[in-house]
């Protein structure tokens, strides 16, 4: 892949949303609280997605906007699979890709709240092999060749590093650094393995940078999940079912879709848009040992909307508290700001104007684009390589979700949807 294509590659969970299209005269960033939706303007969302399906850009999508406890927009478009032509419903199962990280992070915060994990705990407290990790520093010779020098850690990797993606753990399917190449050549996904084995595979590789020095997207959430298993004595799915899925009623959320009835509800991308470009094949339909906490979950709108509403409520849903107010505030605060010591490079996927909370991006400022992309200060967002996307805007008491399977078109679709959503708000 050449550098031009690489820069445009759809990285798992990448949130590099470009500057938004032209906006109304008063703008759509940080609209005053109390805005309501104009139904005529919401109709533009319908027009947009119908055209996406009609022109063969996507197979289909499920779009939901919820504000102040009420559904203000909820439509499905196209089909869940162009082969079966089955219509999309709220029970259609979608691969979440990196939205899995948000779910995993919420459950990790529950365990932190229970006192089973601490943010400042070193990872090596739970996984001893992480005490021996080294950082791979690139050295350039006079002839231009690059070599990798392994240097000691300046401090241990912590649970906080895993949750805000500052551990130095990366992915091997984007970028051209020597450490990323080492990840790619390590054949991390070969054979059958569980989170315990996967953590050991990661521990044998160099870190991309010193812990806490740089926001670096990668398998940090998988290592976090292994710690969750260790302190709980249960598998990741067992933990998540007990702490989140069963209480919320998320009956179709998990890692695999192997049952005949559920297979009939599994959404598929268009045949010419089925490469998720995440370095491995999705094996959702085959039960395996690895419960990928960084990108392996599936869910439905019926399920995921409950999760989004819980976040919008500040950690509660239907009378039950999932995250205390203090825990929710900690999770939704920026942990990569100017006083954090964390640097940002080209691959800072939260994007311009966003800091990093403990599991998702947090809007901290308008950013540098003129006009700024739409949204509100404090908004939360994340997405995944499959195209699924969530925005939680507590200022407007609103969340919106799109579930789709389109790795190629997702960034454009997400950017346009967000613009149309905020353009439909009026005071």
pLDDT 10s digits, 215-273: 999 999 999 999 999 999 999 999 999 999 999 999 999 999 999 999 999 999 999 88
292 shares its domain with 411? yes
Separation between Cα atoms, residue 189 and residue 167, nearest integer Å: 20
249 shares its domain with 344? yes
Q: Is residue 254 part of a domain?
A: yes
pTM above 0.85, yes or no: yes
290 shares its domain with 189? no
152 shares its domain with 131? yes
Residue 281, pLDDT above cutoff 80: no
* Residues with Cβ within 8 Å of residue 234, at least 6 apart in sequence: 242
129 shares its domain with 186? yes
216 shares its domain with 319? no
Separation between Cα atoms, residue 401 and residue 421, nearest integer Å: 11
136 shares its domain with 266? no
SS3 226: helix
Residue 415, pLDDT above cutoff 50: yes
219 shares its domain with 249? no
Separation between Cα atoms, residue 107 and residue 114, nearest integer Å: 11
Residue 409, pLDDT above cutoff 80: yes
SS3 355: strand
Band (6; pLDDT cuts 50, 70, 90): very low
198 shares its domain with 333? no
Separation between Cα atoms, residue 348 and residue 48, nearest integer Å: 29
Band (94; pLDDT cuts 50, 70, 90): very high
Q: Before 98, cis peptide (omega within 30)?
A: no
**In which domain, by residue range, is 80 found?**
3-26+35-100+236-426
Residue 280, pLDDT above cutoff 80: no
* Residues with Cβ within 8 Å of residue 72, at least 6 apart in sequence: 37, 42, 65, 66
Q: To the nearest whole number, what is the mean pLDDT of the chain?
A: 92
Q: Name the domain boundary from 213, 232, 251.
A: 232
- Total domains in the chain come to 2
- Strand runs labelled E in 141-207: 146-152
- Looking at residue 23, its pLDDT comes to 37
Residue 22, pLDDT above cutoff 90: no
249 shares its domain with 381? yes
Q: Is residue 106 part of a domain?
A: no
Task: Tell which residue, 310, 308, 280, 303, has the closest CA to residue 292.
Answer: 280
300 shares its domain with 252? yes
Q: Is residue 109 part of a domain?
A: no
Q: What are phi and psi of 250, to 5 degrees?
A: -90, 80
* Residues with Cβ within 8 Å of residue 76, at least 6 apart in sequence: 60, 61, 62, 63, 87, 88, 89, 90, 92
Q: Is residue 110 part of a domain?
A: no
- Looking at residue 282, its pLDDT comes to 65
Q: How many other CB atoms are found less than 10 A from the CB of residue 426? A: 12
Q: Name the domain boundary from 232, 265, 283.
A: 232
136 shares its domain with 205? yes
Q: What is the mean pLDDT of residues 44-70?
A: 97
**CATH number of the domain within which 313 lies:** 3.40.710.10
SS3 352: coil
Band (274; pLDDT cuts 50, 70, 90): confident
């Amino acid at each position: 892949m050449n550098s031009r294509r690489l820069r445009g590659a759809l990285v798992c969970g990448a949130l590099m949303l470009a500057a938004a299209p032209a906006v109304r005269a008063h703008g759509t960033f940080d609209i005053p609280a109390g805005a309501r939706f104009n139904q005529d303007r919401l109709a533009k969302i319908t027009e947009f997605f119908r055209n996406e399906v009609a022109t063969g850009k996507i197979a289909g999508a499920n779009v939901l906007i919820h504000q102040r406890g009420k559904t203000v927009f909820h439509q499905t478009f196209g089909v869940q699979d162009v082969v079966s032509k089955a219509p999309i419903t709220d029970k259609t199962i979608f691969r979440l890709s990196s939205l899995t990280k948000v779910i995993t992070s919420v459950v990790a915060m529950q365990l932190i709240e229970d006192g089973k994990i601490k943010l400042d705990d070193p990872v090596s407290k739970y996984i001893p092999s992480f005490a021996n990790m080294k950082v791979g520093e690139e050295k350039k010779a006079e002839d231009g060749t690059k070599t990798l020098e392994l240097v000691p850690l300046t401090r241990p990797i912590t649970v906080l590093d895993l949750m805000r993606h500052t551990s130095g753990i990366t992915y091997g399917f984007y970028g051209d650094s020597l450490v990323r190449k080492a990840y790619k050549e390590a054949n991390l996904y070969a054979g059958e393995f569980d989170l315990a084995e996967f953590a050991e595979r990661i521990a044998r590789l160099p870190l991309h940078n010193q812990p806490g020095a740089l926001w670096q997207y990668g398998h940090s959430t998988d290592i976090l999940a292994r710690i969750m298993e260790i302190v709980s004595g249960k598998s990741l799915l067992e933990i998540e079912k007990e702490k989140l899925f069963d209480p919320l009623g998320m009956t179709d959320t998990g890692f695999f879709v192997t049952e005949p009835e559920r297979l009939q509800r599994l959404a598929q991308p268009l045949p010419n848009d089925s490469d998720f470009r995440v370095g491995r094949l999705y094996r959702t339909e085959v039960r395996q040992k690895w419960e990928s906490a960084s990108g392996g979950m599936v869910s439905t709108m019926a399920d995921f909307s409950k999760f989004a509403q819980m976040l919008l409520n500040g950690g509660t849903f239907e009378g039950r508290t999932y995250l205390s107010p203090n825990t929710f505030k900690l999770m939704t605060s920026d942990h990569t700001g100017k006083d954090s010591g964390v640097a940002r490079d080209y691959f800072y996927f939260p994007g311009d104007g966003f800091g990093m909370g403990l599991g998702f991006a947090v809007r901290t400022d308008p950013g540098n684009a003129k006009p700024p992309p739409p949204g509100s200060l404090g908004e939360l967002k994340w997405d995944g390589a499959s195209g699924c996307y969530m925005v939680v805007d507590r200022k407007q008491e609103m969340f919106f979700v799109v579930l789709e399977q389109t790795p190629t078109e997702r960034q454009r679709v997400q950017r346009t949807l967000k613009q149309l959503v905020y353009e439909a708000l009026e005071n």
